[in-house]
Amino acid sequence: MTSKASFHRQAIDLGLVLCFSFFFTASGLAQQDDRFDVLIRGGRIVDGAGNPWFRGDVAIRGDRIVAMGHLPRAMAKRTIDAAGQIVAPGFIDMHNHSRREMFEVPNGENYIRQGATTIIEGNDGSSPLPLKPFFEKIEQSKLAINCGSFIGHGSIRREVIGSVDRKATPQEMDQMRRLVKQGMEQGALGISSGLFYIPGAFAPTEELIELSKVAAEYGGIYISHMRDEAAGLLESVRETIEIGEKGGLPTQMTHHKAIGAANWGRSLDSLKRVEEARARGVDVSIDQYPYTASYTGTAALFPQWAQEGGREKLLARLKDPATRARIKADIAERIKLDRGGGDPKNVQLSLCDWDPGLDGKTLADVTRDRGREVTFENAAETAMEIQQAGGCKAVYHAMQEQDVERIMQYPGTMIASDGGILIFGKGVPHPRNYGTFPRVLGRYVREKRILRLEDAVRKMTSLPAQRVGLFDRGLLRPGMKADIAIFDPDKVIDRAQFGKPHQYAEGVSYVLVNGVLVLDNGKMTDARPGAVLYGAGRKANSQVDGPEV
């Protein structure tokens, strides 16, 4: 099958939803005196499609919206007075990393308080392999939030080839195709890649095109952490577009950005390339988090060639004086021109399991603490010592606000956190874990007026929903799933800060997941109504051998 077949399936699905919506609208308005489970009354409805808000009521029965509009005679087991507040679809986080902590914090409070009702795992080329046991664990664990997942190219390549820099043999390509097929049949929403990370960095473009063709047969998308978001930004954009075009499926540049002062402003060119591709029929889109700092491991400062073969090989290379000098020079260059943002103080350590005392310190702080002058070369030496000791997670301040705003305003950009469910108080993580969606609504809609409220909500709801084929979510319509966020447009805001990230967002008062209140007048409930959201290619009895989660 081709992406054309996928389009026809999606059109049929959308037609069914519209028919279903008409039925429920008609029956809901004709029977307003029926008793609903939840009635949201008098709010300003922002439906997720980008339409201007309107005042009305929303009635819910079970896990679905069953009526909307003027419902003066409607009654319900629970009525929510939403006067003065916005009633919107629950936010969908397209880029999330929660698969460990979600089982320790099943209520997902840092996302629920943002108004998020769905998270999508398996990004940056990393996913459980196979996916089926992961999905089963979610179903058994009962989460408060919905969860779907991509299948990770990097995880597949590591399983089949390892962390070595070489092309796959024909037999290995067949094995990788089979694992993509397995992932899609077990419910993946598409295939993700992390071409900045090992082992994805070693994969040629042709490998990704061939594997994307398999995902295309099941209606999936290709979503990529591109090879380079700094000096090689435009070439990476070109490659991402090529993979989608030749792979025959929608393609997405995830957490799009321009890193390093020398590359600031290049979002003008990257967005132009996206527009040119769309003009010739390539289905390409973007997601973004609303911050000027990224977050990943300290290994991001190391050249990919030095990481080939995994941690043990890297440690061996660091013990060789000549190789260590070469690695050090590369790291110094990355601090100066790439993720270091031109100053070691721009690299802030976030989570160092082997020494929590480093959490919150910058690379400049640690270099100074170790008796060295803060230079690029000395900071590189500190980075190597940190990696030898076990490595850390880190925040990298290396982006420009104008690029963030320009990318955000592009119609094909959706909002995604690139964060995860967290254990409150652990480490000094990126504030995006607590503030992504309210930050857009408070800072960029209300304060800076970069976006209309209705457009911001569309970027968080219907746009990501249609991108991954969740056609029963992302819009407020009769017949749709009742994932709903209610917030005060004058108060919604992020409180998390760099250095003080463990602060919940404010202004979201109610959140319903599948028709059940998980945030009730600002208080978390004990409800766990979250569901696994499977891709269209799911086959219940798909069996392909692979390592267990």
pLDDT digits (tens, 9 = 90+) for 268-312: 999 999 999 999 999 999 999 999 999 999 999 999 999 999 999
Is 544 a member of any domain? no
Global pTM value: 0.92
Does residue 392 register a pLDDT over 70? yes
Six token digits for residue 134 = 């992961």
Whole-angstrom Cα distance, residue 529 to residue 145? Answer: 7
The amino acid present at 180, given as its one-letter code, is V
Q: Are residues 353 and 409 in the same domain?
A: no
Is 446 a member of any domain? yes
| Percent of the chain residues past pLDDT 70, beyond the cut | 92
Structure confidence by residue, pLDDT tens digits, 432-453 = 999 999 999 999 999 999 999 9
**Exposure on the CB side of residue 452, measured as CA atoms within 13 A:** 11
Q: Are residues 279 and 168 in the same domain?
A: yes
Q: Are residues 378 and 267 in the same domain?
A: no
Structure confidence by residue, pLDDT tens digits, 347-375 = 999 999 999 999 999 999 999 999 999 99
Is 476 a member of any domain? no
Is 188 a member of any domain? yes
Does residue 396 register a pLDDT over 50? yes
Query: Which pLDDT value is given to residue 12?
Result: 40
Q: How many domains does the chain have?
A: 3
Binned at pLDDT 50, 70 and 90, residue 539 comes out as confident
| Of the listed ranges 6-15, 231-240, 318-327, 390-399, the one predicted with least confidence | 6-15
Is 481 a member of any domain? no
Structure confidence by residue, pLDDT tens digits, 111-167 = 999 999 999 999 999 999 999 999 999 999 999 999 999 999 999 999 999 999 999
Q: Are residues 41 and 103 in the same domain?
A: no
Look up residue 530 and give its DSSP letter. -
Q: Are residues 166 and 289 in the same domain?
A: yes
Q: Are residues 17 and 136 in the same domain?
A: no
Q: Are residues 220 and 286 in the same domain?
A: yes
Structure confidence by residue, pLDDT tens digits, 33-68 = 468 999 999 999 999 999 999 999 999 999 999 999
Whole-angstrom Cα distance, residue 520 to residue 526? Answer: 10
Structure confidence by residue, pLDDT tens digits, 413-434 = 999 999 999 999 999 999 999 9
Is 540 a member of any domain? no
Six token digits for residue 330 = 């590369």
Structure confidence by residue, pLDDT tens digits, 157-190 = 999 999 999 999 999 999 999 999 999 999 999 9
Q: Are residues 283 and 415 in the same domain?
A: yes
Chain Cα centroid distance, residue 292: 16
Is 239 a member of any domain? yes
- From 350, 377, 397, the end of a domain falls on 397
The residue ranges of DSSP E strands in 226-330, in sequence order, are 251-253, 284-288, 293-297
For position 59, which CATH number holds? 2.30.40.10
Q: Are residues 254 and 271 in the same domain?
A: yes
Pairing of strands 508-513, 516-520: antiparallel
Q: Are residues 16 and 58 in the same domain?
A: yes
Q: Are residues 146 and 244 in the same domain?
A: yes
Q: Are residues 383 and 426 in the same domain?
A: no
CA quadruple 433, 434, 437, 443: dihedral, nearest 10:
-120
Q: Domain of residue 461: give its range.
A: 91-296+402-467
Is 244 a member of any domain? yes
Average confidence (pLDDT) over 379-388? 97
On whether the CB atoms of residues 157 and 127 are closer than 8 A, the answer is no
On whether the CB atoms of residues 537 and 526 are closer than 8 A, the answer is no
Whole-angstrom Cα distance, residue 522 to residue 505? Answer: 11
For position 222, which CATH number holds? 3.20.20.140
